[in-house]
């Protein structure tokens, strides 16, 4: 049972990490806290997306699943939304 939840948490971590890499290095968006700020927000968004998927599973059940265990679309979408909103905050100097 532990390995099941550990694998899900690891997948959400990888999704958040990948989203922060794409957002900061590929799209070159300025974020408060630079890469580390983007990483923290993307991780929060990834886990929040997983929680949303848990609560609205019936609605988004038609989306594809990764190994029939984890739906990766809500974490990706929520990570991008949160990091985009976070990038809109003014940078403190």
- Contact, 15 vs 79, CB < 8 A? yes
Where does the pLDDT of residue 72 fall: very low under 50, low under 70, confident under 90, or very high at 90 and above? confident
Where does the pLDDT of residue 64 fall: very low under 50, low under 70, confident under 90, or very high at 90 and above? low
Rounded CA-CA distance 63/74 in Å is 10
Write the DSSP string, 1-60.
-HHHHHHHHHHHHHHHHHHHHIIIIIS----TTHHHHHHHHHHHHHHHHHHHHHHTTTTS
Where does the pLDDT of residue 3 fall: very low under 50, low under 70, confident under 90, or very high at 90 and above? confident
pLDDT of residue 36: 92
What's the DSSP call for residue 83? H
């Amino acid at each position: 049972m532990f390995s099941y939840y550990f694998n899900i948490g690891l997948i959400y971590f990888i999704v958040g990490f990948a989203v922060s890499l794409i957002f900061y290095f590929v799209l070159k968006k300025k974020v408060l806290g630079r890469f580390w700020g983007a990483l923290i927000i993307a991780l929060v968004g990834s886990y929040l997306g997983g929680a949303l998927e848990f609560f609205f599973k019936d609605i988004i059940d038609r989306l594809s699943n990764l190994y029939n265990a984890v739906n990766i679309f809500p974490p990706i979408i929520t990570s991008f939304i949160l990091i985009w909103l976070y990038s809109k905050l003014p940078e403190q100097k």
